[in-house]
Structures are given as structure tokens and as C-alpha cells.
Amino acid sequence: MNLNAPRGTKDILPEEAERRRALERTFAEVCERYGFGEIRVPTFEHTELFVRGVGDASDIVRKEMYTFLDKGDRSLTLRPEGTAGVARAYIEQGMSSWPAPVKLWYNMNMFRYEKMQKGRYREFWQLGCEIFGSACPQADAQLIGMLVTFFDDLGLDEVNLEINSIGCPACRAAYHQALRDYYAPKLKDMCDDCHERFEKNPLRMLDCKEAYCHSLAEEAPAQLDYLCDDCKEHFDKVKSYLSMMEIPYNLNPRLVRGLDYYTRTVFEFVSSHVGTQGTICGGGRYDGLIREIGNIDVPGVGFALGVERLLLELDAQGIPFGKAARPDLYIASFPSTAANALDLAQSLIRSGLKVETDVMDRSLKAQFKAADRMEAHYVLVLGDTEVSLSRGKLRRLSDGSEQDVPLTAVGTLLHDYRKKLASAKENDRQSTLFKL
């Protein structure tokens, strides 16, 4: 039997799981503050949904989907991205009759049969948001503002925002023509994929990774020069709202998204950290998506963030994020008091504290060593005397100070200490945020 996890998948062990959980918790909190509700959709959908929603000319649909027939001969696909499934749920669940806009966030695993490289997996996680029902530029700007808040909360620096507008179907026709005119004489030396893109969606040729195709993108006509009046006004407003919120951005006329349903605003957050340059998050407006799959007109805007990419970035920038909390207390005991230690730990943990105690009949010396390794804030040695007097010495490991206290007061003391640490940390955070 092959005991290796399938290529492109990985086990997530406690230390990384803790970091992921902290990341996900921070994201969920930010979403909550901006008024988003969580959505969870199935891991697989009908294949057709992705073909229509993601676009049959996209690399995802053409090369990367995990598609299979179930026992009833239905063609199903493991979701390669989040938006199509969420949009399907929006239509099926009648969310267009909910008060608009409908603001949703998700945290889901995705599946793509991709070439293996650092930080790329065939099963990977994405955090994302979608706003349905608003065509206004405020929605685009607020989503971007939300990401800025999220990166701030993580302590992530060196992330730059790039934006562009890829117009609407009305102005895109002229732009596509301009692209075809530009590429036509060069097409014979371009890759096979680009020949297909030339027919189906020349916009895609701009982000071809093949060296020669890539080199041509630089001189290609820019969508910005072909925007209709409505698209231009929309984009000007997005930019002015960002400026008002003091969110810096770079205009990147080469920025296109790899998916067919995007319209108008597209954006990426790109790392400028040496060694990890690359896209951390991509998003944009997709006013055409709901019509494409559900025949109703509902505008939308959203983004997705790669969790693995974000973790790499946090590591590279040396941000101490998502470390497991230190135990508030380690209760050391003897075989004669092991049961009392277990009982005391049980009641303290039930009160909300993190408490460790020995469950292996180890020597006192080994228990102290464990308390040190776990970086417990306090240690309490529970011997026969302590049990009979119902008092003990609470020793703080950071400075060796001791307090003789009734066992019934230990919980309150530890809760107070925890509050003190938390408020000191919060004060620090606020003072950097508001530069007090």
C-alpha cells in the first residue's frame, strides 16, 4: 500500500493548523465587522457550472479540473474556485429577493490539477468575499478597503495594490478588435493556446506565460484607452474613493483576470517582499456572471485570497502569527495528588483557562521541564500539604515571584492576569494604529 499522500496534497499538522486557524479567525472577524455572512457550498458541483461560470477557454477548465462521473453517470467536478458555486447558491436559494446587497464570505478548499511548485498545491484553501446586487463603485472600493484592514490586522507589510478596469461587453468589443489587430501579424510565432485565445478571448493573450507571448504584452493596446463613458466614470470613482480612504494603488493596464466573467474593476494585492514577490489576492467585478449561469441580471464584485500563499508571506516577513497560546498554568503533582491535580485542572479549564497537568506519572523534575517547554505563565505544585490546606504557591515563571493563595482563588487570579496581558497588547496595537 502506498502510504504517501497524493501528489499535490499535504497533511496539516498542529503547528500549521494553529496558524491557519488564527488566519481564518482574523479573516472571519474582519468580514463580520464589514457586515458579511458566511456561506458554505458543496465541495463538488455539476461540471457545467464551472465550464459556464469560469469559462471554457480558461486554463482552469481546459487543463486543471478534477472531473469525474458519479455512479449515476453525472459529470461532477471538485470546485476549482469559489465564486461559481457561491453564485449558483445565490440563484438557487433565491437570494436576489433578499435585501440587497447580499454580502457573503467563505473559507473553502479548492482542487486544481496544477504543475507543482513552491506554495502550490492541488488541494489548497481560499478565503473569499462576494457582494451581489451592487453595481456601484463604492462596493469595489469597500472590498479593497476590507482587504487593507485584514492585512493590517495580520501585521502584513510590503503589500501593494494594483488596479485596472477591463471594461464592459459594450466597450470590450472595440478593445478586442484592437488586440486582434495588434496580435494578428505576430500570431504565427505565438503558442497554440494563444491561437485559440485569439479566436475566443484575445484579452487572455495578455497574461500568457510563454516567453514570446509574454514579451508582446508590454506593447499591446491598453483597455483603459478603450473604456466607454460609463466604465470610465465607474473606474474614476473607484480610484477617487481609494484616494479618499488613503489607500495607495498602482495603475496596472496589463492586469487582467484569468476568468471570463470579470468586468470593469480588477485588482490584485502583490507582495513587494524580496524573495516572495507575487500575487497574494486577486479580485474584481463580475457583472456578467449571474446572467451567464442563471439568466438574471445581478451585478457582483469579489475577491479570493490563497491561504498557502498568505502563510508563506507571513513566514517570509517574519511575522509571529498564530502561535499556540501559552498555558496559563501548569499544575505539577505527585502520584498521591494526581487525582486532585486532574480535578483542579478540569474546573480551571471549564472556566476558560488553558491549563496543563501531568497524565503520565512523571517525576517532578520532568514536569517542571514540561512547564518550561510549554512556556506556562504560572506553575503550582500540588502536594499532600497543599491538598489538605487547600492552599498553594502560585509561581510566575517569568520572574520567579510566588504568591501563597487559596486554591479556590487560583482561577480568578489567572483570569485577571490574562486580562492584564490582553489589554497591554491591545493598547500597543491601538497606539500603532492611531500613531498616538
Q: Which of 210, 292, 343, 375 contacts Zn ion by CB under 5 A?
A: 210
Asked if residue 231 binds Zn ion (CB under 5 A), the reply is yes
Q: Which of 91, 100, 136, 191 contacts Zn ion by CB under 5 A?
A: 191
CB of 62 to Zn ion, least distance (A): 13
| Closer to Zn ion by Cβ: residue 110 or 206 | 206
Cβ neighbours for 248, distance < 8 A, ≥ 6 positions apart: 160, 161
| Closer to Zn ion by Cβ: residue 139 or 147 | 139
Q: Which of 171, 270, 293, 341 contacts Zn ion by CB under 5 A?
A: 171
Which amino acid, residue 194? C
| Closer to Zn ion by Cβ: residue 208 or 370 | 208
Cell numbers linked to 286: 463580475
| Closer to Zn ion by Cβ: residue 213 or 293 | 213
CB of 235 to Zn ion, least distance (A): 9
Which amino acid, residue 181? D
What count of Cα atoms within 13 Å lies in the side-chain half-sphere of residue 262?
A: 22
Q: Which of 85, 167, 300, 322 contacts Zn ion by CB under 5 A?
A: 167
CB of 225 to Zn ion, least distance (A): 12
Q: Which stretch binds Zn ion (CB under 5 A): 203-211, 247-255, 266-274, 317-325?
A: 203-211
Q: Which stretch binds Zn ion (CB under 5 A): 19-27, 37-45, 161-169, 417-425?
A: 161-169
Asked if residue 49 binds Zn ion (CB under 5 A), the reply is no
| Closer to Zn ion by Cβ: residue 139 or 168 | 168
Backbone phi and psi for residue 67, each to the nearest 5 degrees, phi listed first: -110, 140
Asked if residue 381 binds Zn ion (CB under 5 A), the reply is no
- Other CB atoms within 10 A of residue 167 CB: 25
Asked if residue 224 binds Zn ion (CB under 5 A), the reply is no
C-alpha closest to that of 80 among 121, 133, 36: 121
Q: Which of 143, 208, 280, 410 contacts Zn ion by CB under 5 A?
A: 208
- CA atoms of 10 and 78, how far apart (whole Å): 17
Per-residue burial over 316-345, b = 16 or more CB atoms within 10 Å of its CB, e = otherwise: ebeeebbeeeebbbbbbbbeebbebbeebb
Q: Which of 213, 216, 281, 304 contacts Zn ion by CB under 5 A?
A: 213
Asked if residue 228 binds Zn ion (CB under 5 A), the reply is yes
Q: Which residues pair with 300 in a beta bridge?
A: 132
| Closer to Zn ion by Cβ: residue 76 or 217 | 217
| Footprint on residues 307-326 left by Zn ion (CB under 5 A) | none
Q: What is the pairing mode between strands 75-78 and 102-111?
A: unpaired
- CA atoms of 242 and 229, how far apart (whole Å): 20
E strand or H helix that includes residue 386: helix 384-389
CB of 257 to Zn ion, least distance (A): 16
Asked if residue 270 binds Zn ion (CB under 5 A), the reply is no
First to last CA, the chain: 61
C-alpha closest to that of 285 among 305, 306, 260, 302: 302
- CA atoms of 386 and 418, how far apart (whole Å): 24
| Closer to Zn ion by Cβ: residue 167 or 306 | 167
Q: Which of 194, 203, 301, 348 contacts Zn ion by CB under 5 A?
A: 194
Cβ neighbours for 258, distance < 8 A, ≥ 6 positions apart: 58, 59, 60, 204, 207
Count of residues interacting with Zn ion (CB under 5 A): 11
Asked if residue 154 binds Zn ion (CB under 5 A), the reply is no
Residues within the interface to Zn ion (CB under 5 A)? 167-168, 170-171, 191, 194, 208, 210, 213, 228, 231
